[in-house]
Chains A and B, each alone.
Chain A
Amino acid sequence: MAAESKPSSASHPRPLSPHLQVYRPQMTSVMSITHRATGVALSVGTLLLVWWLVAAATGENAYAQASAFMGSWLGKLLLFGWTAALFYHLGNGIRHLFWDAGYGFEIGTAEKSGWFVLAFTVAATILAWALGMAALGGR
């Protein structure tokens, strides 16, 4: 009896689903994990928002420092990624809200709404940066 002890899950890890090494990703599943990834990225990205607000509330020097970083190429790169992640998570979040309400589950509809979210992400990111650069250039 003791010799045939039940294998514990710790010593014998059970297979996880989906089996990522043999799994052919679909557009819908890639968009699903990207929603989660952009959510985590945006959470980290709130550091930029908080830095900006705290710096502005602290004083001229702190604000100038934050401003200089966000205007640098690294700052702009981070902000660009932040903008794209934001519009993706916003658009795909609305897609999720429709699913929560019970609409759009058919495979064709889910793929169409997915492409729509991707197009929205690209268009909104470009528009936001065109307007932002125009505002920056007008100073």
Chain B
Amino acid sequence: MSAPLQGKSLRSPLGRARGLGSAKEGTAHWWAQRVTAVALVPLTLWFVANVIALAGAPRIDVLAWLASPVAAVLMLLLVAAVFRHAQLGLQVVVEDYVHAEGAKVAALMFVNGASLLLGALAAFSILKLAFGG
């Protein structure tokens, strides 16, 4: 920033140092979308490989699969990353296309609530299966 502007800026030095901008969250949303994306690359490939092996399998095979701590933990991380990534992405879609304030707030509440509900259902089910069904 040039010197003459610096003296006239209405932003406080603290606000500038924090770098969070007018939305008060800086690049947190953008960054979380990328971090979950990177995590989902190996997790998704691992998940697809395991689901293929379980195609048409009886329930006992699913129990045996999730009885392994590695499988159960990777599934929990996958579910966490999937629903965080989906929630962040759907939030941007809603903000881009829904402009009426009431409908936007309602849509965002639905997206956040549904992501939390589905993520919690999946996580609890994984734990229950991991501990013996």
Say whether A associates with B. Answer: yes
Chain A interface (Cβ < 8 Å from any Cβ of B)? 36, 39-40, 42-43, 46-47, 49-50, 53-54, 56-57, 59-60, 63-64, 67, 71, 83, 86, 90, 93-94, 96-97, 100, 128, 131-133, 135-136, 139
Across-interface contacts of B26 in A (CB, < 8 A): none
A71 adjacent to B121 (CB under 8 Å): no
Chain B interface (Cβ < 8 Å from any Cβ of A)? 34, 37-38, 40-41, 44-45, 48, 51-57, 59, 62-63, 82-83, 86, 89-90, 93, 118, 121-122, 124-126, 128-129, 133
Across-interface contacts of A59 in B (CB, < 8 A): 133
Of B53, B62, B83, B86, the contact of A135 (CB 8 Å cutoff): B53
Given that A43-B86, A46-B86, A86-B48 are contacting pairs, would A56 and B125 also be in contact in the complex, using a CB cutoff of 8 Å? Answer: yes
Separation of A97 and B48 alpha carbons in the complex (Å) = 21
A57 adjacent to B56 (CB under 8 Å): no
Given that A36-B93, A57-B124, A135-B56 are contacting pairs, would A47 and B118 also be in contact in the complex, using a CB cutoff of 8 Å? Answer: yes
Separation of A136 and B83 alpha carbons in the complex (Å) = 29
Separation of A68 and B82 alpha carbons in the complex (Å) = 25
